[in-house]
Amino acid sequence: MNDLVYERVQSYLARLNLSRIADHLDLLAEEAGKGQWTYLEFLDRLLETELSARYAREVAMKTKLAHFPFVKTLDEFDFAFQPSINERQIRELATVRFVANSENVLLLGPPGVGKTHLAIALGVAAIAQSISVYFLTVADLLDMLHRDAQDDRLGQRLHTLAKPKLLILDEMGYFPLDRMAAQFLFQLVSRRYLKGSIILTSNKSYGDWGDIFADQVLAAAILDRLLHHSTTVNIRGHSYRLRDKRKAGVFSELPAPQKEQ
Ligand code: ADP
Ligand code: MG
């Protein structure tokens, strides 16, 4: 490549926003020469370089926008520790077809069994497929709503939370929801119904949802919409957080049944 052509190519790449190709042009041109790549192979490598960099940038940006409290993947989940979980069902959910179908996922179980981990892992899988995700704890949602109500911004918040294709609502059930919060949640779930997905985690089974909501009718209406197109994963098992303490015998195990002599 003579200097003039090289300069022109770099300026075209800049104008076309092909910065990754610009960065790698020298190296790839050299490799192409050594490897005697065809013109088509060279073009293929250039475009692949640009696209993979764009994809990595997009995933990083979407991960940042998702506001995960931590990032964990399904590969980091030890299914052997939690035998009540059907690994195949979780792997199926990780194909993220449920988001394409605007279905919901409810992860229920006691503290420490991996509900948040799994919710985030499904969020990470969704982002890998270019799906927008937003993670929010119910406690943070309540804080937000009370501030929004004072600033007369509830409508705007509803609009914002209706946008991401996948909304993760973590830790439903630790705090009771007042009437305003329940009404907001009802509107949110209705707004997203058949249009977007929700992953909801809760330490309460559906039967106990009456304790979370002051208004039973509203609780039933929210559950009705959430559950209509949904998968529920009921996790029964020990807390992963406390596994070392269990091993150390901090918790007394149930006595083993006595064998009859
Ligand atoms: P929950 O939301 O059900 O209270 P978390 O998902 O927050 O539980 O899990 C608590 C911690 O234990 C997290 O750091 C999580 O990554 C880890 N964890 C839970 N279950 C497993 C598991 N089966 N394999 C690997 N790590 C796990
Ligand atoms: Mg949790």
| Cα 154 → chain centroid | 24
pTM of the model: 0.89
Give tens-digit pLDDT for 206-223.
888 888 988 888 899 999
What's the rounded Cα separation, in Å, for the pair 119 and 94?
10
Q: Which atom of ligand 1 is nearest to the CA of 113?
A: 3
3-state DSSP of the chain:
CCHHHHHHHHHHHHHCCCHHHHHHHHHHHHHHHHHCCCHHHHHHHHHHHHHHHHHHHHHHHHHHHHCCCCCCCHHHCCHHHCCCCCHHHHHHHCCCHHHHCCCEEEEECCCCCCHHHHHHHHHHHHHHCCCCEEEEEHHHHHHHHHHHHHCCCHHHHHHHHHCCCEEEEEEECCCCECHHHHHHHHHHHHHHCCCCEEEEEECCCHHHHHHHECCHHHHHHHHHHHHHCEEEEECCCCCCCCHHHHHCCCCCCCCCCCCCC
Q: Is 113 in the pocket of ligand 1 (CB under 6 A)?
A: yes
Q: Is 143 in the pocket of ligand 1 (CB under 6 A)?
A: no
Residue ranges of domains in the chain: 3-57, 74-247
Task: Please give the order of strands across the beta sheet that includes 197-202.
Answer: 133-137, 166-172, 197-202, 104-108, 230-234
Q: Is 20 in the pocket of ligand 1 (CB under 6 A)?
A: no
> From the CA of 210, how far away is ligand 2's center (Å)?
21
> Measured at the alpha carbon of residue 153, what is the angle toward residues 152 and 158, in degrees to the nearest 5?
140
> Measured at the alpha carbon of residue 237, what is the angle toward residues 122 and 229, in degrees to the nearest 5?
40
- Burial (CB < 10 A; 0-12, 13-18, 19+), residue 158, is middle
Q: Which atom of ligand 1 is nearest to the CA of 72?
A: 16
Whether CATH 3.40.50.300 fits 74-247: yes
User: pLDDT tens, position by position, for the chain (261 residues)?
Assistant: 579 999 999 999 999 999 999 999 999 999 999 999 999 999 999 999 999 999 999 999 999 999 999 999 999 999 999 999 999 999 999 999 999 999 999 999 999 999 999 999 999 999 999 999 999 999 999 999 999 999 999 999 999 999 999 999 999 999 889 888 999 999 999 999 889 999 999 999 888 888 898 888 889 999 999 999 999 999 999 999 888 776 666 655 444 444 433
What's the rounded Cα separation, in Å, for the pair 173 and 181?
13
> From the CA of 171, how far away is ligand 2's center (Å)?
6
Q: Is 114 in the pocket of ligand 1 (CB under 6 A)?
A: yes
Q: Which atom of ligand 1 is nearest to the CA of 82?
A: 23
Give tens-digit pLDDT for 118-177.
999 999 999 999 999 999 999 999 999 999 999 999 999 999 999 999 999 999 999 889
